[in-house]
Structure 1
Amino acid sequence: MSDFIIDRRTLLRSAALTGLALGGVALGAGSAAAAVTVPAIASCATWGARQPSDPLTVLPHKPVRILIHHTDTPNSTDYSQAHAYALARSIQNDHMDVNHWSDTGQHFTNTRGGYVLEGRHNSLSTLKGGTEIVRAAHCPGQNDIAIGIENEGNYMTVEPPAKLYSSLVTLCAYVCHQYGISPNDIQGHRDYIATDCPGDVLYKKLPQLRKDVAAKLGG
C-alpha cells in the first residue's frame, strides 16, 4: 500500500501540470485551474496589411511585460469591423511612411468597437507559440521585451468604451497566460518614456486592469 501513497506536494504539482495540459493556468495551492479565453485577433493578412519594408526580427525569448498605449486618434463612434480594419491600415501607413519604420510599431491594436488586430507581422504567430517575441517599435528600450498594445482613441479626459476595456482585459489575460507574465507587469507607455500615453484616464485604470486580468487568470 505504501507504494501508492502520494505526498501533498506531488499531488499539487500533478494538478498544476494537468491544468496546463488542458489549456488552463497553473495556479497556487488551493486554487483550481481556470480556462483562459482565446481572443479573436484579426491577422495582418485579414485586415489587408502591406508587407514590411525590411525583414523583421523574431527574438528567441519571452517578453517580460505588457505596455498599454493609446493611439491619440479621434474617439470615433464607428464601432464596426470595417472601421477597425481601416484604422489598422492607417496606422501602418503612418508608421511606415511618416516614421519610416519597417512595419506597424505595436504588436496589437484594440479598437473602440472591441476588435483586436495584429499590428506588426509575426506578432500573432509568436503569441500563439508562447516562446518568442517579434522586435517592435512602440517604446525605446522596451521593443525587445514588452508586448505593445495600442488602444484606439485619446484617453486624457474621457473613459474608454466598455467594449474596448473588455477586449483589453481578455487580450492581456491571454498574453499573460501565453508568456507567463504577471498581471502586475502590465504597465503604461509613460512608465518608460516622457509621454502622455496612454492618457491620464486610461493610465489611472491600470490598477483595475491588473486586478481584472488576474481574475481572468483565476487568482
Structure 2
Amino acid sequence: MPAARGTFGRRSLLGAALGLGPMAWASGGRAVAAAPGRPEIFGCGQWGARPPAGPVTVLDAPPRRIVVHHTATANVDDFSPEHAFALARAVQAHHMDGRGWIDTGQHFTVSRGGHTTEGRHRSLDELAGGRRQVRASHCVGQNDVAVGIEVEGTYTRTDPPAGQYEALAGLCAHVCDQYGLDPYGIDGHRDHNATACPGDRLYALLPRLREDVAARCRRGW
C-alpha cells in the first residue's frame, strides 16, 4: 500500500502539468445526461485516460465507507469541463509516473467547477453494479474497503465553491445509494492516516456533508 501523502505534496507537479496550455476534449465528448438523482460522471474514456500499467483488481465485496480528500492544488477559477479533464489527466500522470502506481489512485474526482470524473479504471462500472469495488491507492488501510473521492483544491483556509460542494454531496449520495452505505460513515483522509488532508475547512464541512447526503439518499437514514 502507498504511504500517506501530505497536504501540499502534489501542488507543484500537478500545477506544472495543468499549466501546459489548453487541453483538447477527450474522444467521446460529453457524457450522456445523468438520470434524475444520478450525477453526471465522465468516464476514463471521455477525459482521455491512459490505459492502466497493470491489471486493475476488482474486489468481490462492496465498500464500507467513503473517504474524502483534497488534491492540494491551486484553487483555480477555471470551472470548465475542459479543465476538469486536464486535471484528471494530470493526476493520473502524477500517480503513474511520479508514484509508480498502475493508474489513478482514487475512484472519483470532483473539480472546482463541479465536474466529476472517474479516476481508477472500472470504478464507474462497478459503482453502477453496486456489488463490487475496484482496489484503489488513495488511503493506507482503506484501499480495499473505501471509495476514495478527491476534491480539487486546497481547503486549509477556504471552503470549496458552492457548486463543487453540491457536486460532492450528489456524488456521495449516489455512492451511498448504490452500495447501501451509511452517509454518516463519510470520513476524511486524516481520520485514517497522519495527514492534513482534506484540509481544515473541508474537514470541518464533513458533518454538514453527512447530513446533506443523508437527506438526498433514496433509502433514507
TM band (smaller chain): 0.7 to 0.9
1:131 shift after superposition: 0.3
Distance 1:158 1:82 in 2: 24
Contact 1:92/1:103 (8 A) holds in 2: yes
Give 1:36 shift.
6.9
String of CA shifts for 1:149-207, please: whole Å, max 9, x gaps: 00000000001000100000000000000001001110000000000100000000000
Q: Distance in 1 between matches of 2:175 and 2:213?
A: 10
Unpaired runs of 5+ in structure 2? 1-34
TM-score normalized by the length of structure 1: 0.83
Unmatched segments (≥5 aa) in structure 1: 1-34
Residue pairs, 1:133-212, within 5 angstroms:
133-212=133-212
The size of the alignment, in residue pairs, is 185
Structure of greater Rg: 1
Instruction: List per-residue Cα deviations over 1:66-114 (Å, max 9, x = no partner).
Output: 0000000000100000000000000000000000000000000001100
Of all paired residues, the percent bearing the same amino acid is: 57
List structure 1 segments (4+ residues) > 2 angstroms apart after TM superposition.
none
> Which residue does the alignment assign to 1:74?
74
2:44 corresponding residue in structure 1:
44
The amino acid of 2:62's aligned partner reads: K
The residue type paired with residue 204 of structure 1 is A
Indicate the residue corresponding to 1:116 in structure 2: 116
Contact 1:68 1:186 in 2 (8 A): yes
Contact 1:36 1:177 in 2 (8 A): no
- Contact 1:36–1:174 (Cα < 8 Å) also in 2: no
Equivalences for residues 89-100 of structure 1 within 5 A: 89-100=89-100
Residue deviations 1:29-82 (CA, integer Å, cap 9, x gap): xxxxxx971100000000000000011100000000000000000001000000
CA distance change for structure 1 residues 216 and 200 in 2, over 3 Å: closer, same or farther?
Answer: same
For 2:107 and 2:199, how far apart are their aligned partners in 1? 19
Q: Counterpart of 1:86? A: 86
Q: Which amino acid aligns with 1:119?
A: G
Do the aligned residues in 2 keep the contact of 1:106 with 1:119 (CA within 8 Å)? yes
Q: CA RMSD in A?
A: 1.1
What is the TM-score of this pair, normalised by structure 2?
0.82
Q: In structure 2, the residue corresponding to 1:187 is in which secondary structure?
A: strand
- Post-superposition offset of 1:147: 0.1
- Residues 60 and 133, structure 1, Cα contact 8 Å, conserved in 2: yes
Match of 1:14 in 2: none
Which residue in the other structure is 2:20 paired with? none
In structure 1, the partner of 2:7 is none
2:53 maps to: 53
SS of residue paired to 2:69: strand
Q: How far apart, in 2, do the equivalents of 1:165 and 1:60 lie? A: 31
Q: Secondary structure at the match of 1:205?
A: helix
d(CA) in 1 for partners of 2:48, 2:185: 32
Distance 1:36 1:181 in 2: 20
Return the offset for 1:212: 0.2
| In structure 2, C-alpha distance between the alignment counterparts of 1:216 and 1:84, rounded to whole Å | 25
